[in-house]
């Protein structure tokens, strides 16, 4: 259950949970999630050309969690890493929903043949799932939020049709991507309602460590081969990019946003990521950018603007 915290005094420069965040920090964090995560679909596709999906994803999150833990400990000492049992259990649940069932299963789907661009388009239904969870929990979002989400879905549908839906890849990969989107959305909706560590970066590192350990365990149990010398330099470079930028930087920014602004605002990243993925497909793979794609992209951007204008955090007066 969500709790309400008192606003910090005007003399405090550090935002606390339940208080509005500085617009510049919110804008930078959202920009990172928009752009970096849009590029990770291509990175995952390159990584799994040689690497086993669950072991690679698990090692990615484990290393990212260790890096973030080192940064937190260096800045504040080991005491900063201390969490209660309830907080650790909450991190474990979110680690299952986000890194494992969310990004981990996307890695498995792309290893099974799911195209990176189409994967990004299907993941973009995350805001619709979030809206469904909000409605089921008894919330009544503003009609403009609902309109923005639906408008975004129309734009994404146009993008999907323009890219074609008949392709040479197994259907199960698309079903797995849809499942991962639902899991990611549920974790995003649930996290602000759990007893999490007050420091969002501490929450992020435990989520990644636990999620990474689970993925590695499942990968080993399922018989995924581990041959470090067989992986190409290109796959290693993609894996390193996903560790540093996709996990340490972007995932930390995402977790911070979940505790700082409305989840509907955070979820708009799912509208922008496909545009980035389509652009990278054109730039790296020479995929055509048709007028239909441009029109669908324009609708998506309009939907993002509508949701952002409706859900952006409000300032509160300080004494």
Q: What is the pLDDT of residues 53-102, one digit of tens each?
A: 999 999 999 999 999 999 999 988 888 899 999 999 999 999 999 999 99
Q: Which residues contact 192 (CB under 8 A, 6 or more apart)?
A: 2, 258, 259, 263
Residues lower than pLDDT 50 in the chain: 1-21, 315-319
Centroid of chain to Cα 195: 20
What is the predicted pLDDT for the residue at 11? Answer: 37
Q: Which two tokens stand for residue 84?
A: 């209660």
3-state secondary structure of 266: helix
Q: Which residue has the tokens 């540093």?
A: 244
Whether residue 142 contacts residue 293, with contact meaning beta carbons closer than 8 Å, is answered with no
Distance CA 84, CA 90 (A): 10
pTM value is 0.76
SS3 83: coil
Please answer whether residues 95 and 206 qualify as being in contact, where contact means their C-beta atoms are separated by less than 8 angstroms. yes
Separation between Cα atoms, residue 118 and residue 46, nearest integer Å: 15
| pLDDT score of 104 | 92
Arithmetic mean of pLDDT over the chain: 80
What pLDDT, on the 0 to 100 scale, is given for residue 51?
Answer: 93
């Amino acid at each position: 259950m969500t709790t309400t915290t008192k606003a910090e005094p005007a003399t405090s420069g550090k935002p606390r949970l339940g208080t509005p965040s500085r617009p510049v920090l919110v804008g930078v964090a959202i920009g990172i999630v928009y752009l970096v995560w849009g590029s990770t679909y291509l990175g995952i596709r390159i990584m799994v050309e040689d690497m086993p999906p669950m072991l690679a994803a698990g090692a990615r999150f484990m290393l990212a969690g260790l890096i973030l833990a080192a940064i937190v400990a260096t800045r504040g000492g080991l005491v900063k890493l201390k969490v209660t049992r309830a907080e650790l259990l909450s991190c474990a649940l979110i680690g299952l929903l986000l890194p494992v069932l969310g990004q981990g299963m996307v890695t498995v789907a792309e290893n099974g043949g799911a195209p990176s661009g189409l994967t990004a388009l299907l993941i973009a239904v995350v805001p619709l799932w979030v809206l469904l969870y909000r409605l089921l929990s008894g919330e009544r979002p503003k009609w403009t939020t609902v309109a923005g989400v639906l408008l975004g879905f129309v734009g994404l549908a146009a993008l999907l049709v323009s890219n074609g839906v008949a392709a040479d890849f197994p259907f199960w990969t698309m079903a797995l991507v849809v499942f991962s989107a639902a899991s990611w959305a549920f974790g995003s909706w649930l996290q602000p309602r759990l007893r999490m560590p007050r420091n969002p970066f501490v929450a992020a590192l435990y989520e990644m460590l636990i999620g990474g350990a689970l993925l590695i365990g499942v990968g080993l149990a399922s018989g995924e081969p581990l041959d470090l010398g067989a992986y190409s330099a290109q796959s290693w470079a993609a894996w390193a990019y996903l560790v540093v930028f996709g996990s340490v930087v972007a995932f930390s920014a995402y977790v911070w946003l979940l505790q700082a602004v409305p989840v509907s605002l955070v979820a708009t990243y799912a509208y922008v990521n496909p545009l980035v993925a389509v652009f990278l497909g054109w730039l790296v793979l020479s995929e055509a950018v048709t007028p239909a794609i441009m029109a669908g992209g324009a609708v998506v951007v309009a939907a993002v603007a509508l949701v952002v204008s409706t859900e952006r955090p409000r300032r509160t007066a300080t004494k």
